[in-house]
Amino acid sequence: MPGSGLVIFDCDGVLVDSEPISIRCTAAALNRFGYPIDEDGVFDRFLGASTASMVATVEASLGRPLAPEALDDLRREILAAFDRDLTAIPGVAEAAARLERPFCVASSSIPERIRHSLRLTGLLPLFEPAIFSATMVVHGKPAPDLFLLAAKRMGADPARCVVVEDSIHGVRAGQAAGMAVLGFTGGGHIAGDPARRERHAWRLKQAGAALVFDRMEELPGLVREVSG
């Protein structure tokens, strides 16, 4: 129904527990490219950012372009690691099934990676075809473009949308789109370190998250709460 509410999920770190894998692979690759960074640095600088945004930052710092084949190698390494290790965020399928409004995915990842991740974890049937990628817009997160595109395609009023995000970039994008944002800290890249979880929860709130949570079973009630 035009103007209806909508829940917009980020994918990595919200639907699938992919960020520990991606962060590990990305840190190793960037060091090979000559850009010194550890896993904490990747978390702080690039969590939630599109590949294009990360590459632009790295290339500006290095003063030279990254070889396209090097980026292709990184994508292959991440996907191979997903095949071995990727799991769904605990309880996310059950939580999505209990939502009282439509839902979709809007991720900084490329469409092939989003679908691959959802297929590996058994979540694809829940979301197909309501899958939106930063490759579909000019400006990725923290710009609002991707979330606004998802709302438009799903026939939803942005003011009645709720975004579920684990990253500062994503929270800022949801805020810029005029949507309520729930910050999620239950992914393995955050929940495994209590000090990081506390710090990241504070940063999500500072970026504009209305509420922060770490267990997916809480999601339906929180959506109702922030939706008024």
In angstroms, rounded to a whole number, what is the distance separating the alpha carbons of residues 112 and 221?
32
Residue 157: which of 100, 96, 102, 105 has the closest Cα?
Answer: 102
The SS3 of residue 105 is: strand
Compute CA distances 71 → 8, 74, 99, 122, 136, whole Å: 28, 5, 37, 27, 20
CB-based contact 162:14 (threshold 8 Å): no
Q: What are the residues whose beta carbons fall under 8 Å from the beta carbon of 126, sequence distance 6 or more? A: 93, 96, 97, 118
Q: Which residues pair with 164 in a beta bridge?
A: 9, 182
The SS3 of residue 56 is: helix
In angstroms, rounded to a whole number, what is the distance separating the alpha carbons of residues 191 and 186?
5
In angstroms, rounded to a whole number, what is the distance separating the alpha carbons of residues 217 and 23?
26
Residue type, 4: S
Q: What are the residues whose beta carbons fall under 8 Å from the beta carbon of 54, sequence distance 6 or more? A: 26, 45, 46
Q: Which residues pair with 6 in a beta bridge?
A: 161
Catalytic residues: 10
